Amino acid sequence: MERRTFLAGSALLGLMNTAANAAPGQPLYGLIGKMKAVPGQRDALIAAILEGSAAMPGCLSYVVAKDADDADAIWITEVWDSEASHDASLQLPAVQASIAKAKDLVASMETGVVTTPVGGIGLKA
């Protein structure tokens, strides 16, 4: 996998979350992405992503889900109090360790979009 593609995709890699609230009036920052694991390595990729499970300041939600129709694909949905918090999380030692473990398990980044979350169950916007 190309290094630039992996680094861009690593933006979708975080670990677990800590409950935090966005500043009043500040829009939330969201990411939704689909990753393809090396064939047969989806569970190992999921484990590598979740293994570090350290607190990430500003992370309101981080969900990793198996694609029901593709045995090698996962979806990652993130909600942050700000883009700056997300960017800062990529420098955390636990996140860096997770990226290092996951990089050889990622075949490709299929889809990635930035969103502005506005609310929902479990999300205080």
Read off the pTM: 0.79
Helices (H) and strands (E) in the chain, counts: 4, 4
- pLDDT value at position 17? 34
The pLDDT profile of the chain, 125 residues, written as one tens digit per residue, is 665 455 445 544 433 333 345 566 789 999 999 999 999 999 999 999 997 656 789 999 999 999 999 999 999 999 999 999 999 999 999 999 999 999 999 999 999 999 999 999 887 76
CA distances from 56 to 4, 17, 32, 61 (A): 23, 6, 17, 10
Domain extents for the chain? Answer: 3-115
| 3-115 CATH | 3.30.70.100
In one letter, which amino acid is 7?
A: L
What is the token pair recorded at 68? 């029901």
What is the C-alpha to C-alpha distance for residues 125 and 117, in angstroms, rounded to an integer? 7
- 50 token code pair: 């979740």
d(CA 48, CA 80): 21
